[in-house]
Structure 1
Amino acid sequence: MLYKRHNRLKEVLKKRQPHLTVLMEDIHKPHNLSAIIRTCDAVGILDIHVVNKNGNYPTFSKISQGSDKWVFITSYNNINDAINTLKHRQFKIYAAHFSNIAIDYRNVNYTEPIAILLGAEKWGVSKEASQLVDGHITIPMLGMVQSLNVSVAAAVILFEAQRQRLEAKMYTKIQLSPKTYSKILFEWSYPNISELYKKNGRQYPALEENGQILEGNVLI
Structure 2
Amino acid sequence: MSPERYQRIRDVLAKRQTDLTVCLENVHKPHNVSAIVRTCDAIGIHRVHTVWEEKYKLRGGTAMGSQQWVRVNNHDNITDAIGALKSQGMQVLVTHLSEDAVDFRDVDYTRPTAVLFGQEKYGVTDEAIAMADQDIVIPMVGMVQSLNVSVAAALVLYEAQRQRQIAGMYDIQHLDEEECQRMLFEGGYPRLQKMCKRKEIPYPPIDENGHIAADERWWQQMQMSPAAIKALHADEAAE
Native 8 Å contact 2:18 2:175 kept in 1: yes
Deviation at 1:120, TM superposition (A): 0.6
2:112 corresponds to = 113
1:164 corresponds to = 163
1:27 corresponds to = 27
2:41 corresponds to = 41
Secondary structure (helix, strand or coil) at the match of 2:150 reads helix
Matched, 1:123 2:122: yes
Matched, 1:52 2:25: no
Deviation at 1:153, TM superposition (A): 0.3
1:175 corresponds to = 174
Matched, 1:10 2:10: yes
Letter in 2 for 1:131: A
Looking at structure 2, the residues matched to 68 and 198 of structure 1 have their Cα atoms a distance apart, in angstroms, of 17
Deviation at 1:199, TM superposition (A): 6.5
Secondary structure (helix, strand or coil) at the match of 2:142 reads coil
Native 8 Å contact 1:51 1:79 kept in 2: yes
Structure 2: 5+ residue stretches without partners: 223-239
Secondary structure (helix, strand or coil) at the match of 2:22 reads strand
1:81-140 per-residue CA deviation (whole Å, 9 max, x = no partner) reads: 111111111111000111111111011111111000001111111001000011110001
TM-score normalised according to structure 2 size: 0.84
The count of aligned residue pairs is: 217
Deviation at 1:56, TM superposition (A): 3.6
Letter in 2 for 1:209: E
Change in 2 beyond 3 A, CA 1:134/1:70: same
- The structure richer in helix per residue is 2
Looking at structure 2, the residues matched to 25 and 114 of structure 1 have their Cα atoms a distance apart, in angstroms, of 16
Matched, 1:99 2:70: no
1:174-216 per-residue CA deviation (whole Å, 9 max, x = no partner) reads: 1112333223323332344345556666653322221111124
1:27-67 per-residue CA deviation (whole Å, 9 max, x = no partner) reads: 11111111111110110000100111127445865xx6x41
TM-score normalised according to structure 1 size: 0.91
Looking at structure 2, the residues matched to 53 and 18 of structure 1 have their Cα atoms a distance apart, in angstroms, of 26
Q: Percent identity?
A: 46
1:121-178 per-residue CA deviation (whole Å, 9 max, x = no partner) reads: 1111100100001111000111111111110000000000000011011111111123
Native 8 Å contact 1:31 1:60 kept in 2: no
Root-mean-square deviation (CA, aligned residues, Å) is 2.0
Looking at structure 2, the residues matched to 179 and 69 of structure 1 have their Cα atoms a distance apart, in angstroms, of 17
Looking at structure 1, the residues matched to 184 and 169 of structure 2 have their Cα atoms a distance apart, in angstroms, of 20
Native 8 Å contact 1:50 1:57 kept in 2: no
